[in-house]
Amino acid sequence: MTVTITAFERSPDGGMGLARDTRVRWALEEAGLPYEVRPVSFAAMKEPAHLAVQPFGQIPTYEEGDLVLFETGAIIFHIASHHAGLLPNEANARARAITWMFAALNTVEPPILELITVKFTEGDKPWSKERFPLIADRIRNRLGQLSARLGDAEWLDGAFSAGDLLMVSVLLRTRPSGILNEFPSLAAYVARGEARPAYKRAFAAQLAFNTAQPVAG
Ligand SMILES: N[C@@H](CCC(=O)N[C@@H](CS)C(=O)NCC(=O)O)C(=O)O
């Protein structure tokens, strides 16, 4: 059955791979699933047709026959549940990998998103300069804890899993600020993720998409 995802018509990052369709593309590539991409403009994202699919007016979404999903965690969990390679079979190992999926989205990503918001959406506010270092320190705290847990392991818990896929995707968003490189073991962990052939295919696909000819009109 054909899988269709949505992505920004033009990602604000110009193809750096930081928009959330990249993590879904990566999971689909790891699972070996072909997919199509439906571009959505910022205006269309807030219109009824898209809101019927994504109630918060965001990308990405995932369509597979009658099934329509939103939220990258749920989409990647669905892909990982139906295809080999992203979640271990053994029940406890599987539960731990799912724990890391939640940790990536629920514990590590929130302060990273705050930094992006204060920089790009609230950058003109008088307090943003003071707030920025406070949030940066919150990210450093989380990354220090994560780095301590990872130690010199290759992945977070045994073999590469959807937990690593989400954690690497989230950590990539700290690279532009320079914070990722303050944690060499996490920078190396992210580089291992980026070196996976499935990630490379996903990155190349989103780059081609975001740097294609400008949309007319
Ligand atoms: N929790 C959602 C977040 C989705 C999200 O924030 N998507 C961004 C793109 S990466 C978006 O559509 N932003 C535009 C907007 O919110 O108006 C998920 O993981 O799918």
Is the distance from the beta carbon of residue 71 to the nearest atom of ligand 1 less than 6 Å?
yes
User: Can you say how many angstroms the Cα of residue 150 is from the centroid of all Cα atoms in its chain?
Assistant: 19
- Cβ of 7 closer than 6 Å to ligand 1, yes or no, is no
At 1 the pLDDT is: 84
Edge-to-edge order in the sheet of strand 61-64: 35-40, 3-8, 61-64, 67-70
Backbone φ, ψ for residue 20 (5° rounding): -75, -5
Give the torsion sign (CA, 159, 163, 169, 171): negative
Identify whether the C-beta of residue 57 lies closer than 8 Å to the C-beta of residue 50: yes
Q: Whose CA is nearest to atom 15 of ligand 1?
A: 58
**Does residue 169's CB lie within 6 angstroms of at least one atom of ligand 1?**
no
Nearest CA among 103, 97, 26 for reference residue 60: 26
Q: Cα(91) to centroid of ligand 1, in Å?
A: 31
Query: What was the pLDDT predicted at 50?
Result: 98
- What pTM, to 2 d.p., does this model score? 0.96
pLDDT at 215: 60
End-to-end CA distance of the chain: 33
DSSP state of 182: G
Instruction: Report the nearest atom of ligand 1 relative to the CA of 75.
Output: 20
Contact 20 CB / ligand 1 (< 6 Å): yes
- pLDDT in single tens digits along all 217 residues of the chain: 899 999 999 999 999 999 999 999 999 999 999 999 999 999 999 999 999 999 999 999 999 999 999 999 999 999 999 999 999 999 999 999 999 999 999 999 999 999 999 988 898 998 999 999 999 999 999 999 999 999 999 999 999 999 999 999 999 999 999 999 999 999 999 999 999 999 999 999 999 999 986 665 4
Query: Does the CB atom of residue 23 touch ligand 1 within 6 A?
Result: no
pLDDT at 213: 65
Q: With a 6 A CB cut-off, is 57 part of the ligand 1 pocket?
A: yes
What would the two tokens of residue 209 be?
A: 């998409």
pLDDT for 119: 87
Q: According to the model, what pLDDT value does residue 29 have?
A: 98
CA distance 59 to 69: 11
What's the pLDDT tens digit per position in 64-117? Answer: 999 999 999 999 999 999 999 999 999 999 999 999 999 999 999 999 999 999
Domains of the chain: 3-85+199-210 (3.40.30.10), 91-196 (1.20.1050.10)
The predicted structure's pLDDT at residue 120: 86
Pocket test for ligand 1, best of 50, 54, 59 (most atoms within 8 A of CB): 59
